[in-house]
Amino acid sequence: MEIYTAQTVVLPVYEPTIEPFQRAAAVIRAGGLVAFPTETVYGLGANALDAQAVARIFSAKQRPLSDPVIVHIAEIGQLAQVAINIPPAAYALAERFWAGALTLVLERAPHLPDNLATGLKTVAVRMPAHPVAQQLILQAGVPIAAPSANTFTRPSATRAEHVLEDLNGHVDIILDGGDTPIGIESTVIDMTQHPPVILRPGGIVLDALREIITEIQLMPRYIEENPENTPQSPGMLLKHYSPRAELLLFDGDRSNVLHAMRAAALDYRAENKRVGILTTNEEADHFTDTGARIISMGSRSDLDKIAQMLFGAMRALDKQNVDKILVAGTSKEGLGAAIWDRLLRAAEGKVRQA
Ligand code: TXA
Ligand code: MG
């Protein structure tokens, strides 16, 4: 695949100025790529109605052509431009959770480019809440196709600097709106199945969704106790959200987990490996004398903060060239389901039971 090249320009959008948006919208309309903050993570955007522009997204990210891209809209009126036969349940969810971290998989409008939906009959649609994303879509006047703005398999980008790390020279403009508030991607729900199925846990949690549609199901792989021992459908547990270092995910009784992580850190140090530990304020003390680089993601009980910090912390440890990253699983409740999913995929599906 030929990789799309560009002269990347970073435009700060901390202040409500119109000029960067006009420039970025013109780039979108001309078939270029613009990275922009959403409330979840940064997106790598292109005109969703332009097949060539969409092809550039895949090329810039080195993303396999089999992985479909989410379309972002700014107003509910744009939904009918991209999807058809929209069920009432989808409108009910949209009314409650849009603009926000929820993506709905719907029947696709026939005029959308084939490469966007990778040949599927469906399209994933989201209305982001971030004012920069909204302003960009409105100014561009077209729906914007945007996957997360990282190279394929890398952790998603939660600040402009991460986008630059992965995509410098492959994106025309980066709108720098600072850190993304949620830090983890949207919840993806397949509305073409009955009952609707959560394909990816994310920023909107299961309990909140069930208040609107009680029968919503989580995909079975998110419920399995032992994902390592159950057969997976192809492509579902592919290496994803990964730091360059090998990530080791520990789970089980908490004191056993801390003990096992400490022992592993000391063993690796004895082999002269560089070790990074992703931990929390309450547990960081267990590791201070191991010689590991330690990053705390805040309080163990503050899942919002852990989600916000997670991808940036993985990237920060990579920058320190660690060989191994050790991390203890979080609670799997609420936002914990999404955090756990990202950790599990970063660990390539392997859990160390302590
Ligand atoms: O929060 C987010 O969702 C971010 C921001 C930028 O909006 N976007 C994002 O996009 O995470 P991406 O491409 O990294 O992940 C989209 C996920 C992928 O797992 C993809 O397979 C799934 O959504 N997806 C997209 N279209 C689909 C479709 N038609 N059917 C099923 N899954 C789909
Ligand atoms: Mg992604």
DSSP assignment of 214-283:
TT-EE-GGGT-S-GGGS---TTTT-S-S--SSEEEEEESSHHHHHHHHHHHHHHHHHTT--EEEEE-TTT
Calculate what percentage of the chain has a pLDDT beyond 70. 94
CB of 13 within 6 A of ligand 1: the answer is no
Residue 28: the pLDDT is: 98
Ligand 1 site, residue 39, Cβ cutoff 6 A: no
Q: What is the pLDDT of residue 117?
A: 85
Q: Which of 148, 236, 240, 241 to mutate to test the pocket of ligand 1 (most atoms within 8 A of CB)?
A: 148
Give me the pLDDT at residue 2, please: 77
- Condensed to tens digits (0 to 9), the pLDDT of residues 225-273 reads 444 444 444 345 556 778 889 999 999 999 999 999 999 999 999 999 9
Provide the greatest CA pair distance for the chain.
61
Contact by Cβ (8 Å): 108, 123? yes
Q: Look at residues 220, 219, 216 and name the one whose alpha carbon lies nearest to residue 194.
A: 216
- Whole-angstrom Cα distance, residue 140 to residue 24? 8
Q: 252: closest CA among 335, 151, 329, 174?
A: 329
Q: Is the CB of 43 under 6 A from ligand 1?
A: yes
Query: What is the model's pLDDT at position 222?
Result: 61
Among 321, 307, 33, CA closest to 163:
33
10 Å CB burial of residue 298 (0-12, 13-18, 19+) is: middle
Residue pointed to by tokens 């969704």: 209
Residue 91 has pLDDT above 70, yes or no: yes
Token pair for residue 215?
């029968």
Query: Residue 83 and residue 88: Cα distance in Å, rounded?
Result: 13
CA 146 / ligand 1 centre spacing (Å): 8
Output the pLDDT for position 290.
95
What is the per-residue pLDDT across 29-62, written as a single tens digit (0 to 9) for each?
999 999 999 999 999 999 999 999 999 999 999 9
**132, 137, 139, 141 alpha-carbon torsion, rounded to 10°:** 180
Percent of the chain with pLDDT over 90: 87
Atom number in ligand 1 closest to CA 72: 7
**Minimum mean pLDDT range among 2-6, 89-93, 133-137, 252-256:** 2-6
CA-CA distances (angstroms) from residue 216 to 104, 194, 210, 342? 13, 9, 6, 21
Q: Evaluate whether 286 touches 294 at the Cβ level (below 8 Å).
A: no
Enter the tokens of residue 294: 């330690």
Assign 223 a pLDDT band (cuts: 50, 70, 90).
low
Q: What's the predicted TM-score (pTM) here?
A: 0.95
Q: How confident is the model at residue 25 (pLDDT cuts 50, 70, 90)?
A: very high
- Residue written as tokens 């435009």? 11
Which of ligand 1's atoms lies nearest the C-alpha of 44?
6
326, 248 contact by CB (below 8 A) = yes
Q: Which of 41, 54, 65, 70 to mutate to test the pocket of ligand 1 (most atoms within 8 A of CB)?
A: 70
Condensed to tens digits (0 to 9), the pLDDT of residues 61-80 reads 998 888 899 999 999 999 99
Q: Kindly give the number of the ligand 1 atom that is closest to the alpha carbon of 185.
A: 1
In total, the chain counts a number of residues equal to 354
Residue 161: pLDDT band with limits 50, 70, 90: very high
DSSP 148: B
Two structure tokens written together for 332: 């799997």
Residue 88 has pLDDT above 90, yes or no: yes
Q: Around Cβ 30, how many Cβ atoms within 10 Å? A: 11
> What is the spatial distance between Cα 269 and Cα 277, in angstroms, rounded to a whole number?
12
99 lines ligand 1 (CB under 6 A): no
According to the model, what pLDDT value does residue 234 have? Answer: 38
For ligand 2, the distance from its centroid to the CA atom of residue 266, given in whole angstroms, is 33
**Per-residue pLDDT tens for 5-22?**
999 999 999 987 899 999
Whole-Å CA distances, 208 to 97, 185, 186, 190, 214: 9, 16, 14, 16, 10
